[in-house]
Amino acid sequence: MPDPDFVQQDFQRRFRNIPPLGMGLSVDVYSPNLFELENKLREQGLQPGYLEVFKATMTALSTVRQAIPDMSLAYHGEGLWITQPDVQDSPFFQQDVQEMVTQLNHLQSFWLNHECATKQMAGYSFGTYVPPLYTRLSAEVVAANIATVQQAMDRQGRRTDGTAPLFLLEMPPLTYFSAGTIPIPHFFRLVAGLVPCGLVLDIGHLWTAYRYTTACRRMSLEQFVGEFLDEFPLDRVIEIHIAGLACHESVGEPKREEGFPEWIDAHAAPIPSILFDMLEQVLAHSNLVSLRAVALEVDTKPIEMIVEEYAEAVRRFSSLVHQTMARGAAVGQSMELAPYPASVQAPVCQSDRQQLRDNYMRYAQIISGQAPMAGLEWQETAGDATGITRYHTCYLPYEILHWGGDLAEMFPQTCQALAERGVCLTEFVAFWFRSPQPLTHSYDFFLLKIERFLEFVAERAPEARVCAEQEGDILRQAYARANEVVEPVVEMERTR
C-alpha cells in the first residue's frame, strides 16, 4: 500500500526536473506541415515554447528532430491501454512500451503524455478513444499500470540531463456518454494518490465532461468548472491542452432551440471562445501550482487558422501562463498540499482484475449496442439514454465504415461486388462487434480494418474474397510506404 505522502514527494522530485516551457502547440508529424507552420509563425513574430508531437514512426520523428534541433519537443504517446486490467498480459505490451521509450529518448521529451482512455477492451476494438469506467477499482488498475510504465521509463529513459521522463495522464473527452460510480475528478484524485504521475487537463475535454454528464442539467458551466477544479488534483497538472469542439459529421448541426450543442473533441475545428473563458478560470485557480506548459492542439487544422488562434492565445494568455508557472516555483518545497484519499491496495489482485475485465466486456457490448445497460456503473447513464444511443447508432457505425479509411474507397471493387450480391456494408458494423477477437498485432486501426473486412467478405461473399485480398494487399503496401516517407498515401485521420 503506497504512502500518499511518499507518492507526493516522489512526484515533487520528478516535477522539479521539468523546466517551464510556456505556450506551445501539439501537432502530428504528418499534419500540419511543420516546416511551413514554423515559417508562417516566424513571419508573425511568433515562436512556440515547445511542440508536443504525437506518436509516429521513428523515421518521421527523426526528420522532425533534425529539422528543428533547437525546439523543445514533448511526446504524446498512444497505444498503451493503461485503463485495461489485462493490458500487461498482451503479447505486444512490452514491445509497445519499448517503442515508446525509444521515441521519448529520441525526442528528449520531459514527459510521456497518454490519454486515460482506450481503443481496445476485452477483445473489442474501436477507432477513437473510449473513456475509462469511472470507478474506484478502475482507478486502482490505472495507477498500477502507470507505475509499470513509469518504472520502464526510470530504467531505460535516457535524457542527457540524467533524469527520466514523467508519465502524464490526460483526462479524456466524453463522446456523448460517461459510465461509472464516482465523479470524474474524484477518480483522478484516487489515481494521483497512488502513483506519482503528472496530469494533463484538456479544456475541451472538461467541457464534454459537463455536457455529457448530469452536470449540464444541474448547474451552470462556470459553477461546474469551479466545483470540478476544487476536487480534481490540480496540483498535479503539468500541462493544459486546448483544442476545437464541433458536432460530428454523423450527427449534424443542432437546431438553435436545443440548448447545448452536441459538440465533441475536434482538433480540426476552431476553438470556441467559451473554452478560452474556461481556460481563464482554470489558470486563476490557486491549486494550479505545477503548471509547465499550455498547448493548443492543432493537428489536422489549416495553418492559417493555427497561426491566427495561436497569436490570439499568446496575446490573451502568455503573461497569465508565465505568472501561473512562477506561482509554482514560489510555492516550492514549503507547499502544504491537501491530503489525497487513503491509498488502496496495490498491486491489484487477480480476481479484481478479472472483475474489471468482465465490466469492460459488458462496457464494450453496451456501447456497441449489443447489450442493455445493466450494473451500478450504468445507472446514471440509463437515466437519459440519448447520448449512448447517439454513440452506437450514429458515431460508432461512422467510425467503422468511414473514419480512418473509408471502406468504399479502400475496397471499391469488393464493395461493388458486395452490393451486387445484396450485402449491405452496414452489416460489417454488427460483424465487427459480434464477438471479442484475439490481438494479432500492436493496435493499428487501419490494419485492423483491412483484416476484419477480409474476414467479413470471406464469410458473407466468399466469391469476392480474392478481389478483397488483392485490394487489401495494395492498401497494406501503400500504408507501409506512407509510414516510411512521412507523406500519407491514404487519407488518415487521428483524434486524441
Give the range of 200-208, 256-264, 339-347, 471-479 binding Fe ion by CB under 5 A.
Answer: 200-208
* Residue 54 vs 479, nearer CB to Fe ion: 54
Supply the angle between the helices 221-231 and 273-283 in degrees, to the nearest 10. 40
Q: Binding Fe ion by CB under 5 A: which of 52, 202, 235, 262? A: 202
* Residue 119 vs 241, nearer CB to Fe ion: 241
Contact 92/147 with Cβ under 8 angstroms?
no
Q: Which residue is nearest to Fe ion (CB)?
A: 241
According to the binding rule CB under 5 A, does residue 449 interact with Fe ion?
no
Name the minimum Å distance from CB 296 to Fe ion.
10
* Cβ within 8 Å of residue 293, ≥6 positions away: 20, 21, 22, 23, 24, 49, 50, 52, 74, 238, 239, 240
Name the minimum Å distance from CB 204 to Fe ion.
7
Count the neighbouring beta carbons within 10 Å of the beta carbon of residue 250: 16
Residues 207-246 that bind Fe ion (CB under 5 A): 241
Closest by CA to 122, choosing from 135, 133, 137, is: 133
Identity at 344, one-letter amino acid code: V
> What are phi and psi for residue 369, nearest 5 degrees?
80, 15
* Residue 241 vs 392, nearer CB to Fe ion: 241
* Residue 241 vs 494, nearer CB to Fe ion: 241
Give the range of 180-188, 198-206, 391-399, 443-451 binding Fe ion by CB under 5 A.
Answer: 198-206
* Residue 197 vs 418, nearer CB to Fe ion: 197
Name the minimum Å distance from CB 226 to Fe ion.
22
Task: Give alpha helix (H) positions in 124-266.
Answer: 136-156, 184-194, 203-211, 215-218, 221-231
* Residue 96 vs 202, nearer CB to Fe ion: 202
Integer Cα distance of 53 and 64 in angstroms = 9
Give the range of 11-19, 95-103, 196-204, 254-262 binding Fe ion by CB under 5 A.
Answer: 196-204
Contact 88/67 with Cβ under 8 angstroms?
no
Residues 241-270 that bind Fe ion (CB under 5 A): 241
Name the minimum Å distance from CB 457 to Fe ion.
36
> What are phi and psi for residue 384, nearest 5 degrees?
-140, 100
Name the minimum Å distance from CB 265 to Fe ion.
8
* Residue 7 vs 112, nearer CB to Fe ion: 112
Which residues here bind Fe ion, judged by CB under 5 A? 202, 241
